[in-house]
Amino acid sequence: MIKNTKQLVTSAIIATIYAVVTIFLTYPMSFQASQFRVAEALTILPLFTPVAIPGLFIGCLISNLLSPVGPLDVIFGSLTTLIAAITTWQIGKSNLKHKKLLAPLPPVILNAIIIGLLLNYTLKWPLVLTMLQVGFGELLCCYGLGLPLITVIEKNNYLKQLLSLQFIKGKDRA
C-alpha cells in the first residue's frame, strides 16, 4: 500500500492530524456515547487514496490510548476505523454512483454498531440508545464535516499537493 517516502509521510500527517484533533482539540467530546469526534471527518480520505488507511488507523489507535474505556477501545475502536477506511477505499474504487454520498457511510454504520456494543459491554450503557447516539455523532462528523471536506479537497490543488493525495487520472473517483 505505501510504496515510497512521500506516501509514508502523507500517512503520518493524516495520523498526526487525527490524533491531535481528537486528543487536544475535542477530547471531551470524543469519548462519550454522544461522541462528536471531529477527526472522523478525515475518514473520507480513503475515497481518494489508500495511503490514508494506515494514517487513520494509527491516528485512531493513538487517540484511543487515552480512552476511558481502556484497552478494548484501543483494539476494537481502532480496528473499526481500519475496517471503515478499507470499506471507504473500496467505495472509491467501485463503479458505484454517488460515491461522495456513500463514502462517509462505513464509519457511521460500523462505529454505531461496534462502538455501541463496546460501550454497552464495558460501561453497561443501554445498547440501542448508545448505538443511536454513537451513530448520530458519526453522522454529524462524517457527513456534516466530511462531505464539505471532499469538496474542499477536489477544488483545492494546493491541498491535494500538500496532502500528496494520489487521485486516479481520467475517471473521477468521487
- Residues 107, 43 contacting (CB under 8 angstroms): yes
Query: Structure pTM?
Result: 0.90
- The whole-angstrom separation of Cα 47 and Cα 158 is 18
Domains of the chain, each with CATH number or no CATH: 5-163 (1.10.1760)
Q: What is the pLDDT of residues 4-24, one digit of tens each?
A: 888 898 899 999 999 999 999
Residue 174 has pLDDT above 60, yes or no: no
Higher-scoring residue by pLDDT: 161, 8: 8
| CA dihedral (22, 66, 56, 109) positive or negative | negative
Q: Quote the mean pLDDT of the chain.
A: 90
- pLDDT above 90 covers a percentage of the chain that reads 73
Contact (Cβ atoms closer than 8 angstroms) between residue 81 and residue 42 = no
Share of the chain above pLDDT 70, in %: 91
How many residues does this entry show for the chain?
174
Q: pLDDT category, 96, cuts 50, 70, 90?
A: very high
Mean pLDDT of 24-41: 84
pLDDT in the model for residue 1: 62
Q: Alpha-carbon Rg of the chain, whole angstroms?
A: 15
* 84, 141 Cβ separation under 8 angstroms: no
What backbone torsions phi and psi does residue 79 show, to the nearest 5 degrees? -65, -35
What is the grid cell recorded at 22?
A: 481528537
